[in-house]
Structure 1
Amino acid sequence: MIESLQNKTAKKIQGLKNRKNREKEGLFIAEGLRFVSSIPEDWEVEYFVVSQSYAESSDCSILQKRAETLIFSNQVFQAVSETTNSQGILALCRQKNFHIHEILEKESRGFYIIAEELNDPGNLGTLIRTADACGVNGIFLSKGSVDLYNPKVLRSTMGSIFHVPVVQEVEISQLIQQMHTQKITVLAAHLQGKQYLYDFDFTVPCAVLVGNEARGLSDDAVALCDDLVKIPMVGKAESLNVSMAAGLLMYEAVRQRKTY
């Protein structure tokens, strides 16, 4: 049992709270029983870590069959945990690197999300979770966006991080150019839209572009869109949360494509 924060493994886990260390190691932490249980069989796990209390009250044999399982004292586990009331279980998972061309070429009638400088971890996590529910084929994050493996992002995905391919640090202009060569229509919800989202044909291969929480989409990004659509606003609110707006467009695509 590991009883000191000076232990090499404990230090490594603490270091993964920092983005640079996550990128260097190519790892991220999945914490909590539900999150750990959602890890697919084909997803590489470096090792599991459980608290002493968890090890004494639960059967760890299933974990041990899959990867090395380490036991931390309750005090050390709580110190490396990202949550206040930890469930006493986490996994160090290997990051997956997806390539743009592989994602775009996989589906003949694909549906994608592009995010420009999305900064809020909760918004990104909710976006990924909703995209998973709607069968989105891939998500592309521009430079300047929150880290995909930020612990708050991961918790907000509720396990959907394992189901939707996400590419980070994307150059949007190059991505959209590539999409155009593959006849993928790019649209965005925008006040300048001339039609409502219900009038757009979501049955064609398409990508929804969403912007920064505070600034919205840049003029350059808007100029790259093939179409702009409006979301009906009948009350006094001037705008919607970015993940909510994206969710409305995604579910309109589900409705039109009859993928349910």
Structure 2
Amino acid sequence: MDNPRSDRVRSVAALSKRSVRSRTGRFVVEGPQGVREAVRHAPDRVRDVYLTAEAAARYAGDVLGPAREAGLRVHEVTPEVLAAMADAEAPQGLLAVVDTPAPTLEDVLAAGPRLLVLLTNVRDPGNAGTVIRGADAAGADAVLVSDASVDVHAPKVVRSTAGSLFHLPVVTGLDVAATLTALRAAGVRSLAADGTGATALPDADLDGPHCWVMGNEAWGLPAEVRDACDDIVRVPIHGLAESLNLAMAATICLYASAGVLRSGDRPG
């Protein structure tokens, strides 16, 4: 494929717009790591893989071969075509078009989760993607995302997850108050991560199923959300930093939880 102005190229490029993603139920994954994880973990949702000749040679073993073995449609394109399709300023030679999943909160809770994170009013794509990646690394069961947060299938978010978007359920479009009520009914405690918390992270009760509730990058969690949670927990700051980046704080909290929950799995 060598025409960067073709209808197919324009249709893929249009997926950078939220309205088009919503209408088509598809999104774009860019770069070798994201495409590799999509092919490995969600091949049934991968519609098309596009890659340059150079990328085909470089990623023959971990992307191209598995994609063909899975029976996926693979298209070799020129660098100009790939650049026209991609959102990134410096695309890395391959991308995929993937169907948007639709996991539900009910599905997540029915599976008996032990560790969750809820993003409320998180607007920065990099932060949202990094929290998803951190939740994956910490062994969380799912990421929950409020209806007022960034679209997790936007190109910048997808890139910043580095493929973790395909490793665990990410439930989107949630009402925060209703979600906290559903968590409580399912026996999952909610812990608001907030600098005003009376409980320091080392003293927090992290035994049993729980969900970290993370607020907006600028203003944090509103009072009504903090009050609806079972505890308000702060990450201690021992140096002179005024605060922690949202994604940093979320990762610290998730790893603290993972340490406690996993220690309970070890034979006595």
Return the TM-score normalized by structure 1: 0.92
Residue 240 to residue 102, structure 1, CA distance change in 2 (3 Å): same
The amino acid across from 1:223 in the alignment is D
The amino acid across from 1:47 in the alignment is D
Of the structure 1 ranges 64-73 and 16-25, higher mean CA displacement relative to structure 2 is found in 64-73
The structure whose residues are more often helix, as a share, is 2
**RMSD of aligned alpha carbons:** 1.9
- Alignment pair present for 1:45 and 2:49: no
Residue-pair matches, total: 258
The residue aligned with 2:255 is 251
The residue aligned with 1:24 is 23
The residue aligned with 1:94 is 99
- Measured after TM superposition, the shift of residue 96 of structure 1 is 0.8
Residue 219 to residue 25, structure 1, CA distance change in 2 (3 Å): same
SS class of match (1:154): helix
Q: Distance in 1 between matches of 2:231 and 2:58?
A: 56
SS class of match (2:180): helix
CA contact (8 A) 1:30 1:36 kept: yes
Give the 5 Å matches for 1:139-150: 139-150=143-154
The residue aligned with 1:69 is 74
Which portions of structure 1, spanning 4 or more consecutive aligned residues, are displaced by more than 6 angstroms?
none
Return the TM-score normalized by structure 2: 0.89
CA contact (8 A) 2:4 2:80 kept: no
Deviations 1:111-130 (A, max 9, x none): 11111110111111110111
Q: Distance in 2 between matches of 1:51 and 1:30?
A: 15
SS class of match (1:233): coil
Q: Distance in 2 between matches of 1:190 and 1:150?
A: 27
Of the structure 1 ranges 237-246 and 188-197, higher mean CA displacement relative to structure 2 is found in 188-197
The amino acid across from 2:4 in the alignment is L
CA contact (8 A) 1:53 1:74 kept: no
CA contact (8 A) 1:119 1:145 kept: yes
% identical equivalent positions: 29
SS class of match (2:177): helix
Of the structure 1 ranges 34-43 and 243-252, higher mean CA displacement relative to structure 2 is found in 34-43
- Measured after TM superposition, the shift of residue 73 of structure 1 is 2.5
- Give unmatched runs, 5+ long, in structure 1: none
The residue aligned with 1:8 is 7
- Of 157, 162, 184, which residue of structure 2 is paired with 1:158? 162
SS class of match (1:93): strand
- Alignment pair present for 1:241 and 2:241: no
- Alignment pair present for 1:226 and 2:225: no
Residue 56 to residue 131, structure 1, CA distance change in 2 (3 Å): closer
Residue 222 to residue 41, structure 1, CA distance change in 2 (3 Å): closer
Residue 35 to residue 219, structure 1, CA distance change in 2 (3 Å): same
